[in-house]
Amino acid sequence: MKKMPLSEKIYSSGLAMITILILAFFLFQCVMAAESNESIDAAGRVTVTNVNLDPSVLMTGDVGLLTFTIENTGNSNVVITDAHLISKDIVVLNSDVYSSSRTIGAGTSMDFTFTILADQPENIYYPTFYINYRDAGSLRYNVPVRVEEPQVAVSISNIPEVFSKGVTSKISLMIGNAKSVNMTGITIIPVGDGIKVNRTSAFIGNLPAHSEKAIQFEITPETESELKFDIRYTCGMNAHETTYSIPVSLGADKQAADPVINNVEITSGSSGVTISGDVSNAGISDAYGVIVALESATDDSGNPNQKYVIGTITSGDYSSFELTVPQNLKSIPLVVQYKDQSGNQFSKTVNLDNDQAGGGVFSSEMSGAPGGGFPTGGSPPSGFNQASGATGTSGSNRGGVNPMNPLSGMGSGMNSLPVMEIIYGIIIVIVIVVAWIIWKKKGGGRKINNSSK
């Protein structure tokens, strides 16, 4: 048998080796292709099942948490090399938190949470969530993020045209949530120099989207100032604050009650000087708790005979009073005390001259600050003049109708009508009718029949 040369042996061996390598390469490619197909199929089973943004709507400048939940619904594990949230508008504060690889097992889920900053104006933005797989490309998912300008709707009702010094006014502050996010922990703090408020703060709590709540404050100003309401609230993890202010101007309330004393009659007797008259309400509002008293008897320990309680006098109506004062008073200071609807106490003073006593009638008009006087205990405002009793004609005109309101005689001044005169007139009419009936029965009114034969 002929031996093969060495060179041919080497050639044959090399050819065989190359053939084996080629076959191995193709076999490896087939295996890799099969594995790649399996990896792609497994990665295709990974989906985003839930997206949560807290808070659900961001205010401009707010920080929020955007969480993506992915689930592997396949039967094979999937290796994730990294995950990112990318946006040209929304700032991602922890963009590298998921830069290392991790494996999501078959039938399991995994959360990816990103901290974002909404520093853009009001609009809807679409950041993109990326997942890169080790063996099968990547997953891309866009999510809308709504951004709104921070805004609390504030309105105030029952604001008087002007405030009165030392007088309490009730105002209602309405807080509205005009946005799409829930506001929590709402606190209102009133601030104003020279202004007393019945509460240092008010807590409303939660205010859902597109809802409103009201809170009342009692304001008592001492000087002209500006009343500010600091409104603080939170949206998710973000704290917000806004300020609402109203000017506080002092003046006379044009809608206030204005009690006026008129038709005054002073009579001197053995027990003292009797003063009677009417109190008319010339204001727009009703006067409550009206009391007419001698100035020295206005407090609780004053002589009850020198104090007359009327009660309520409605606008445009009047009521009568009568009280007895000592004879040794040359000048008789009468005080009219009354309250407004909020319970504020007011007083007005008129001085009567006791030298005119003896049955004369005096019509004394009180003049004061527009709106019906000034708060009890305070000084009269500029321009307040105390009217003194003016002489008038003899006789009494208190039984007539209030000249301010001709129909008011049917109101609280009914006791001033000429009752006795009316009774006398009715009696006279009854006597005439009875006399006429008797005359008829006695034949005074018989007819005479003439007959001729």
Domain residue ranges of the chain, discontinuous segments joined by +: 1-39, 46-148, 153-248, 259-416
d(CA 249, CA 159): 11
Q: How far is residue 113's CA from residue 360's CA, in Å, rounded to a whole number?
A: 94
Cβ neighbours of 427 (radius 10 Å)? 10
**Cβ count within 10 A of residue 228:** 16
pLDDT of residue 6: 57
- Of 329, 327, 328, which is closest to residue 267 (Cα–Cα)? 327
Q: Residue 208's CB: how many other CB atoms inside 10 A?
A: 11
Which secondary-structure segment (H or E) carries 35?
helix 6-43
For residue 444, the model assigns a pLDDT of 56
- What pTM value is reported for the model? 0.57
DSSP letter, residue 216: E
At 153, which helix (H) or strand (E)?
strand 153-157
Cβ atoms of 401 and 409 closer than 8 Å: yes
Select from 246, 257, 320, 319 the least CA-distant residue to 286.
257
Q: How far apart are CA 320 and CA 308, in angstroms?
A: 10
Residues facing 274 on adjacent strands: 267, 324
Topology of domain 153-248, CATH = Immunoglobulin-like (2.60.40)
Kindly report the backbone phi and psi dihedral angles of residue 286, in degrees, each rounded to the nearest multiple of 5, phi listed first: -75, 150
166, 155 contact by CB (below 8 A): no
Residue by residue, pLDDT tens for the chain (453 residues) are 555 565 665 666 666 677 777 766 655 554 444 445 666 777 788 899 999 999 889 989 999 999 999 999 888 889 999 999 999 999 999 988 999 999 999 999 999 999 999 989 999 999 999 999 988 788 999 999 999 987 889 999 888 878 888 888 889 999 999 888 889 999 999 999 999 999 999 999 899 988 999 999 999 998 988 999 999 999 888 999 999 999 998 877 777 888 888 888 888 877 778 888 999 988 888 889 898 988 887 777 777 778 888 889 998 898 998 888 887 777 888 889 898 877 888 888 888 876 654 444 443 444 334 344 545 444 343 333 333 333 333 333 444 445 444 444 444 444 445 667 788 788 888 888 888 888 787 765 555 444 443
Rounded to whole angstroms, the Cα distance separating 327 from 358 reads 12
The two three-digit tokens of residue 65, written as one number: 């948490």
- From 322, 323, 286, select the one nearest 411 (Cα to Cα): 286
DSSP 413-429: TGGGS-HHHHHHHHHHH
Residue 369 and residue 250 in contact, taking contact as beta carbons nearer than 8 Å: no
Architecture of domain 259-416: Sandwich (2.60)
Q: Domain 46-148: which CATH class?
A: mainly beta
Contact status, residue 177 vs residue 231, Cβ threshold 8 Å:
no
Other residues' Cβ atoms within 10 Å of the Cβ of residue 88? 9
pLDDT for 37: 63
- Whether 46-148 shares its CATH topology with 153-248 is answered yes
Which CB contacts under 8 angstroms, 24+ apart, belong to 302-305?
none
DSSP per-residue letters across 230-263 = EEEEEETTEEEEEEEEEEE-B---TTS--EEEEE
